[in-house]
C-alpha cells in the first residue's frame, strides 16, 4: 500500500494546523511530526525516511532556503510562506511547489497532485499498467493535429518553458503542454529525473551519478531526483 511520510516545518502553530488538517483528507499520508524550526527537525530527517517536507521560509536560526541547501539528498519539498519574493530561488532548488499563505484547500490539493504521481512510480515500475489493458500510446497536439505517440518509442521528454519536446525512435514531436501535465499521462515506466526531463526507464543504456544515456543522448539527473532514480536502477545491478 502506498504511504507518503511527511513532516511540517513552520514557526506558526496556526499554519502547522492548517496543513495538518488538509493532510487528513489524504488516507495514504503519514504525518511524522511538526517542528517550529529546521534545527528541531534534523534528528527525525536523519533517522526516518521522509518523502515530503512542508517548509516555511522565514524561521528562527536558519531560513527554509538555507536549510534546503544543507541537505545532500533532500526529500520532496513544498514551500509554504507569506513571501512570494522567494519563489524564484525556491524553484531553482527544485522544490515541488510554492504555496502562498493563507493556503486554500484547492491550491493545496493541486500541490499534492504534483507529488503523488512521481512517488507512486517508485513503488513498482510496472504498477500502473494493468494486465489485459496496458497503456500503449497517447495523443498529443502538434502542428494543429492530434498525433499518436507510441509509448515504447519514447526515449525521453524535455521541457522548454511553454512547450515540451518528445524524443522518439524516429521523430521529434513538439507540443504546447507542461512537463507536469505530460508526466501525469505517462505510465510508471517513465520517471522524472530533472525538473526539465522525463525519461523512459526501459530505454536507459548507461548511467552515472550525474547523467543517463539514451541512444547517444545524455540526460542530466537533477540532485532533487537522484536518490529515487539511483534506488530504482541499483535494484537491477
If you classify domain 137-234 with CATH, what class do you get? mainly beta
pLDDT of residue 132: 40
Residue 234 or residue 168, greater confidence: 168
Model pTM score: 0.51
pLDDT of residue 230: 83
Mean pLDDT of 26-34: 89
Confidence of residue 226 (pLDDT cuts 50, 70, 90): confident
Distance between CA 105 and CA 25 in Å, rounded?
10
Mean pLDDT of 164-173: 96
pLDDT for 4 beyond 70? yes
Domain 4-121 shares a fold with domain 137-234: no
Distance between CA 224 and CA 195 in Å, rounded?
9
pLDDT of 196-221, one tens digit each? Answer: 999 999 899 999 999 999 999 999 99
Handedness of CA 7, 13, 16, 21 (dihedral sign): positive
CB atoms within 10 A of CB 209: 9
Helices (H), 7-140: 13-23, 38-47, 64-70, 87-92, 105-121
- Identify the burial level of 189 via C-beta atoms within 10 angstroms of its C-beta, where 0-12 means exposed, 13-18 middle and 19 or more buried: buried
**Where are the domains positioned within the chain?**
4-121, 137-234
Distance between CA 100 and CA 115 in Å, rounded?
17
Mean pLDDT of 46-51: 89
Mean pLDDT of 152-180: 93
pLDDT of residue 126: 37
Is the CATH number 3.40.50.2300 carried by domain 4-121?
yes
pLDDT for 76 beyond 80? yes
pLDDT of residue 121: 40
Residue 90 or residue 24, greater confidence: 24
pLDDT of residue 97: 86
Average pLDDT over the chain reads 84
Give the full edge-to-edge strand order of the sheet including 206-207: 206-207, 211-214, 217-220
Mean pLDDT of 87-107: 78
Amino acid at each position: 500500500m502506498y504511504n507518503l511520510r511527511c513532516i511540517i516545518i513552520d514557526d506558526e502553530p496556526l499554519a502547522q494546523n492548517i496543513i495538518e488538517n488538509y493532510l487528513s483528507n489524504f488516507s495514504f499520508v503519514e504525518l511524522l511530526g511538526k517542528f517550529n524550526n529546521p534545527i528541531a527537525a534534523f534528528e527525525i530527517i536523519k533517522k526516518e525516511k521522509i518523502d515530503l517536507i512542508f517548509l516555511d521560509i522565514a524561521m528562527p536560526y536558519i531560513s527554509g532556503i538555507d536549510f534546503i541547501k544543507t541537505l545532500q539528498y533532500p526529500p520532496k519539498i513544498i514551500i509554504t510562506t507569506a513571501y512570494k519574493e522567494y519563489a524564484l530561488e525556491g524553484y531553482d532548488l527544485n522544490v515541488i511547489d510554492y504555496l502562498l499563505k493563507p493556503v486554500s484547500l484547492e491550491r493545496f490539493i493541486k500541490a499534492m497532485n504534483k507529488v503523488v504521481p512521481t512517488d507512486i512510480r517508485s513503488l513498482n515500475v510496472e504498477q500502473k499498467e494493468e494486465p489485459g489493458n496496458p497503456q500503449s500510446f497517447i495523443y498529443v497536439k502538434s502542428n494543429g493535429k492530434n498525433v499518436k505517440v507510441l509509448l515504447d518509442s519514447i526515449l525521453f521528454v524535455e521541457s522548454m518553458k511553454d512547450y515540451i519536446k518528445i524524443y522518439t525512435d524516429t521523430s521529434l514531436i513538439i507540443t504546447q503542454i507542461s512537463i507536469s501535465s505530460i508526466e501525469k499521462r505517462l505510465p510508471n515506466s517513465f520517471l522524472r529525473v530533472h525538473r526539465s526531463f522525463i525519461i523512459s526507464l526501459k530505454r536507459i543504456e548507461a548511467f552515472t551519478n550525474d547523467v543517463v544515456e539514451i541512444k547517444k543522448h545524455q540526460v542530466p539527473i537533477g540532485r532533487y531526483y537522484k536518490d529515487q532514480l539511483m534506488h530504482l536502477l541499483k535494484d537491477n545491478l
